[in-house]
Amino acid sequence: MSTVGRRRTVSVNAGPHAGRRALVTGAANGIGRAIARRLTAGGATVTALDVEPVTDDAWPAVRYDLSETSGLEALVEQLELDGAGVDILVNAAGIQGHFDLAQPSAEVLRHVLAVDLEAPLLLASLLGVRMADRGYGRILNVTSVHAALGERGGLAYDSAKAALEQATRTLAIELGGGGVLCNAVAPGFVETRMAVVDGVLETRTRRFKELYVRSGRIPLQRAAEAEDIAGLSSWLCSTDNTYVTGQVIRVDGGMSVTL
C-alpha cells in the first residue's frame, strides 16, 4: 500500500523545470535523490517515491513498494487528484538480485522484473498518456551499462535493464506526437549503496582500481558520483531539451567505448 506524506511547501524558482511537477522513484538515496534535488533546484515541485523513508524535507513523500504493480493505477490516480498532473517522470528505482543458473529462482526473477521493468513501464504508460493529453511531458528511465554488458549472476537485472532501454524507444514513438520526450541514461560504476558488495564499496577496492582505473578501462579514471548522472538527467527532463527523444545515453566515464 502507498502512504502519501504530508505535503510541504516547496519554493518554485525560475529555471528549466519552473512550474512543472515531477515524480521521482527511488528518491530516498543515490541517483534518484540526486536527480530529485536537481529538478527541485530547477524549479520543479517533486514528489519522492521510495519503499524506504524519504528523509529530505524538501519533498512530499510517497512510501510505496514498486513490486506491488497491481496498485500502480490507483497510485497514479492519487497523484493526479488535484488536477495539476505529473509533467516529469523519472524511473530511478532499481534493485539487483543474484540469479543462479544452477538453482534458478522464479521468485527472484519476478521480483527484479517487477521493480526494474514492470513498474517503470506501467508508470510511463499511465502517466505518459496523461502527459500527451496535456501536450507536454518528459520521461526518463535510469538503466545501466548492464543492459549491454553482462555479468555472472545478473541474468534478471541485465535482462530488465535491456528491456527497459528498448521500451524507452517504443515509448518515444508512442508518445512523441503529444509532446512527450522519453529517454534513458545508462550509468556505469556509481558510488551509491548499490555498489556495496558484502559490506564493501566496490569502487574503492584494489580490484576495481586495477581492473578499471589503472588499466584505462575507464578513461576518466574514477567511478561516477550520483551528481554526475543527475546533471544530464535534469537536462533531458527540462524545457531546454526540445528534440532529443528515444535515446539511451551512457554515463560511464567512457568505459563502454574501451576494449
Catalytic residues: 157
Helices 30-41 and 226-236, packing angle to 10 deg: 50
DSSP β-ladder status, 137-142 and 180-187 = parallel
Q: Considering only CA atoms, which of 69, 67, 63 is closest in space to residue 95?
A: 67
- 3-state SS, 86-155, equals CCEEEECCCCCCCCCCCCCCHHHHHHHHHHHHHHHHHHHHHHHHHHHHHCCEEEEEECCHHHCCCCCCCH
DSSP β-ladder status, 180-187 and 200-201 = unpaired
Gap between the Cα atoms of 61 and 57, Å rounded? 9
- What are the φ and ψ backbone dihedral angles of 23, each rounded to 5 degrees? -115, 120
Q: Considering only CA atoms, which of 247, 237, 251 is closest in space to residue 39?
A: 237
Question: How far is CA 156 from its chain centroid?
Answer: 17
Q: Quote the cell numbers at residue 31.
A: 541517483
The 3-state DSSP class for residue 23 equals strand
DSSP β-ladder status, 3-4 and 61-63 = antiparallel
- Check: CB of residue 49 under 8 Å from CB of residue 23: yes
Gap between the Cα atoms of 91 and 143, Å rounded? 9
